[in-house]
C-alpha cells in the first residue's frame, strides 16, 4: 500500500504525523505541498477521500483566506479548490492518503485509521 503525506516540515503536527507513520515501518511519499501543491483535480480527489468540503480543510486565519474573501458563500467548490491550489498555505496539514482513503492528521493519531 502506498502512503502519501502532504507535509509541511515547519508544522509540529505534520512532523508528529510523519514520525507516527515512520514508527510503523512505513516509508511514505512525502510531498511538501507548499513547494509542490496538488493540482485542482488532485485536491478535489483528496477532499472526496476525506469526505470534507474545501472550507473544512482551509486555514481560515491565513491572509489569502481573508484577502480573497473565501468566506463568501457564493463561491463554488471549484473556486475554493482553485484558491487552495493557487495559495497552498490555505491547505490544512498534514493530510495522509492511503488505500483510497485520506485523513487529516489533527490529531496525528487520526491517520492510524487508514494505515
Domain boundaries, the chain: 3-114
Grid coordinates representing 15 are 512532523
The per-residue pLDDT for 111 is: 97
The verdict on domain 3-114 having CATH code 3.30.1330.10 is no
Best CA proximity match to 33, nearest among 110, 96, 99, 109:
96
1, 4, 6, 11: which one is catalytic?
11
Q: What is the pLDDT of residues 23-67, one digit of tens each?
A: 999 999 999 999 999 999 999 999 999 999 999 999 999 999 999
Average pLDDT, stretch 85-100?
Answer: 97
Q: What is the pLDDT of residues 57-86, one digit of tens each?
A: 999 999 999 999 999 999 999 999 999 999
Distance between CA 55 and CA 78 in Å, rounded?
12
* 11 assigned to active site: yes
pTM of the prediction? 0.94
Grid coordinates representing 72 are 463568501
Other CB atoms within 10 Å distance of the CB of residue 113? 10
8 Å CB contact between 47 and 55: no
Amino acid at each position: 500500500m502506498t502512503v502519501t503525506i502532504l507535509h509541511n516540515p515547519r508544522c509540529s503536527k505534520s512532523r508528529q504525523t510523519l514520525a507516527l507513520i515512520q514508527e510503523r515501518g512505513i516509508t511514505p511519499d512525502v510531498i511538501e505541498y507548499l513547494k509542490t501543491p496538488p493540482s485542482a483535480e488532485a485536491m478535489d480527489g483528496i477532499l472526496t477521500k476525506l469526505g470534507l468540503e474545501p472550507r473544512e480543510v482551509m486555514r481560515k486565519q491565513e491572509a489569502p483566506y481573508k484577502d480573497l474573501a473565501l468566506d463568501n458563500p457564493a463561491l463554488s467548490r471549484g473556486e475554493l479548490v482553485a484558491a487552495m491550489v493557487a495559495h497552498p498555505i490555505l491547505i490544512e496539514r498534514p493530510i495522509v492518503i492511503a488505500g483510497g482513503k485520506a485523513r487529516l492528521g489533527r490529531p496525528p493519531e487520526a491517520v492510524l485509521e487508514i494505515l
